[in-house]
A and B are shown apart, each in its own frame.
Chain A
Amino acid sequence: AQSVAQPEDQVNVAEGNPLTVKCTYSVSGNPYLFWYVQYPNRGLQFLLKYITGDNLVKGSYGFEAEFNKSQTSFHLKKPSALVSDSALYFCAVRDIGSNTDKLIFGTGTRLQVFP
């Protein structure tokens, strides 16, 4: 069964420092991978996706993610964190081999950026 794992419940980083939010995936076929961000009491906003091609994907708000097939990872990164980046981040996967539109989410990682 397809799944994603976000091993960290919370990540703390100082403003201006680089940040990494980890995600690993498990699918039977080739994955479509996504990152979303959620602010309090709001829906999810799309950040970026990996479908195929270049392993380094650039997305909204200066975020990027690197697809690593050998490590089955898709970590979210940003070179310089902002206080406004503080939010809940979700990794998600769609298994294209299963011929379904389902998007399976990880448990979420709360990012806290301190001034």
Chain B
Amino acid sequence: GAVVSQHPSRVICKSGTSVKIECRSLDFQATTMFWYRQFPKQSLMLMATSNEGSKATYEQGVEKDKFLINHASLTLSTLTVTSAHPEDSSFYICSARDEEVGYTGELFFGEGSRLTVL
């Protein structure tokens, strides 16, 4: 199956700094990628839909200035957590769909990035 690579897998940062997480589709093109956040022992919460070449679509309640998303190419989307605070500590997961498979295709997920803000 298609592979989605996410980096870094773990990051620890000081409060107030910004952290960038990358999501790459390795063997397919992805016009659309999705960013999820997962709290401990909870489900995945969709944060935003990343659209190649245009602005991301954020879910209700997600601060777009806090979580900056850039989708500059068909294989790369980045999530930047700006001025991170301890409450931003979480497991962030990206996903993408193989455009060639079409709308019925399943999403492929990255391995996730665990962010810890001190």
Contact = CB atoms under 8 A, between A and B. Distances in A.
A105 B103 contact: no
Interface string B66-99: 0000000000000000000000000101010100
Nearest to A88: B41
Q: How large is the interface on A (under 10, 10 to 19, 20 to 34, 35 or more residues)?
A: 20 to 34
Interface string B21-55: 00000000000101000000011101001000000
A86 interface: no
Nearest to A6: B43
Interface residues of B, number: 24
Contact of A42 (B4, B43, B97, B112): B112
A90 B6 CA distance: 20
A46 to B, nearest CB: 5
B43 A43 contact: no
B104 A90 contact: no
B32 A105 contact: no
A73 interface: no
Interface string A34-57: 101000011111100101000000
25 contacts: A34-B107, A36-B109, A41-B91, A41-B112, A42-B112, A43-B6, A43-B95, A43-B109, A43-B110, A44-B95, A46-B1, A46-B106, A49-B104, A49-B106, A51-B104, A90-B43, A90-B44, A101-B32, A101-B34, A101-B97, A102-B49, A103-B46, A103-B107, A105-B44, A106-B43
Interface of A: 32, 34, 36, 41-46, 49, 51, 90, 96, 101-108
